[in-house]
């Protein structure tokens, strides 16, 4: 019998597989937290999870509802502060960070500030950066988990909140950001994207089961090339889904959104 799963479960499983054992990752709530919890229970038991409010290395018992939830300190290595977490990034010790936004462009730049052309009178005012700009500027690899549609994947951002590769090759370094840092993967309900080594533009690495490249392009507001070794994303395994449903998110806070 075929395994059934929803798009959110697929995205979380894809994200969890990218987190290697022994690495460090800064997460917020939602799908990134679920991915970190799943990774700790499968292939990365020694994954060190950082929360912006100061929890470092917790063994998360159940899904927290905020970055300051007491569960983010459960059996943690440290109960510290935002300043210490950000200093860890400044020292080059944060391997991954999960970020998101209302808009993302071909170079992985993110907008979480406003929708519209007039900053003083936007169509929609969004939460803003929080720690996203700091994390994107200083962590080694940026991961994004988001739904895939033209409203999010745009040619030009309405506001640049968080730097990706900015305008292309060399732009991050010219802006004073650490070399060899930047966007790494974008995981959506349609595909997994990476970035071309030469152009720094987003490209499709893997199509989810049943999805075509034409569907991905139709839901993207900029030209999107495919990597030469384009593959099909492996579906979630029975084991991954059992852990995700029974241990990580039994109340369906995250996976129930689909």
CATH among 3.90.850.10, 3.20.20.210, 3.40.1080.10, 3.20.20.80 for 7-257: 3.40.1080.10
Identify the residue whose tokens are 């199509």. 207
Q: What is the DSSP letter of 118?
A: -
Give the model confidence (pLDDT) of 70-87 as tens digits.
Answer: 999 999 999 999 999 999
Write the DSSP string, 156-206: S-SS--B-SSTTSTTHHHHTTPPTT-EEEEEE-SSEEEEE-TTT--EEEEE
What's the confidence (pLDDT) of residue 3? 85
Return the SS3 of 125: strand
Active-site residue (options: 9, 20, 52, 87): 52
Domain boundaries, the chain: 7-257
User: How many angstroms from the chain centroid is the CA of residue 94?
Assistant: 14
> Any catalytic annotation for residue 238?
no
Looking at residues 37-58, what average pLDDT do you find?
96
Give the model confidence (pLDDT) of 182-238 as tens digits.
Answer: 999 999 999 999 999 999 999 999 999 999 999 999 999 999 999 999 999 999 999
Give the predicted TM-score (pTM) of the model.
0.95
Mean pLDDT of the residues in the chain: 96
Return the SS3 of 110: strand
Q: What pLDDT band is residue 136 in, cutting at 50, 70 and 90?
A: very high
Give the model confidence (pLDDT) of 106-133 as tens digits.
Answer: 999 999 999 999 999 999 999 999 899 9
Distance CA 147, CA 155 (A): 17
Q: What is the DSSP letter of 107?
A: T
């Amino acid at each position: 019998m075929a395994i059934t799963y929803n798009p959110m479960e697929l995205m979380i499983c894809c994200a969890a597989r990218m987190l290697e054992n022994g690495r460090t990752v800064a997460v917020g709530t939602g799908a990134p937290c679920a991915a970190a919890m799943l990774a700790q229970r499968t292939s990365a038991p020694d994954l060190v999870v950082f929360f912006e409010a100061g929890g470092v290395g917790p063994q998360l018992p159940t899904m927290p509802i905020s970055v300051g939830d007491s569960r983010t300190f459960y059996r943690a290595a440290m109960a510290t502060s935002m300043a210490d977490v950000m200093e860890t990034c400044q020292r080059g010790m944060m391997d991954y960070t999960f970020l998101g936004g209302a808009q993302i462009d071909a170079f992985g730049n993110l907008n979480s500030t406003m929708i519209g052309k007039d900053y003083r009178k936007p169509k929609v005012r969004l939460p803003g950066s929080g720690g996203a700009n700091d994390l994107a500027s200083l962590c080694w690899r940026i991961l994004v988990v988001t739904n895939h549609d033209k409203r999010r994947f745009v040619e030009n951002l309405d506001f640049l909140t968080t730097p990706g590769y900015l305008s292309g090759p060399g732009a991050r370094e010219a802006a004073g950001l650490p070399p060899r840092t930047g966007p790494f993967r974008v995981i959506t309900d349609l595909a997994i994207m990476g970035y071309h080594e030469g152009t720094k533009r987003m490209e499709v690495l893997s199509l989810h089961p049943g999805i075509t490249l034409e569907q991905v392009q139709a839901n993207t507001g900029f030209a999107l090339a495919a990597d030469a070794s384009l593959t099909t994303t492996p579906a979630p395994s029975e084991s991954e889904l059992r852990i995700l449903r029974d241990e990580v998110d039994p109340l369906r806070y995250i996976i129930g959104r689909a």
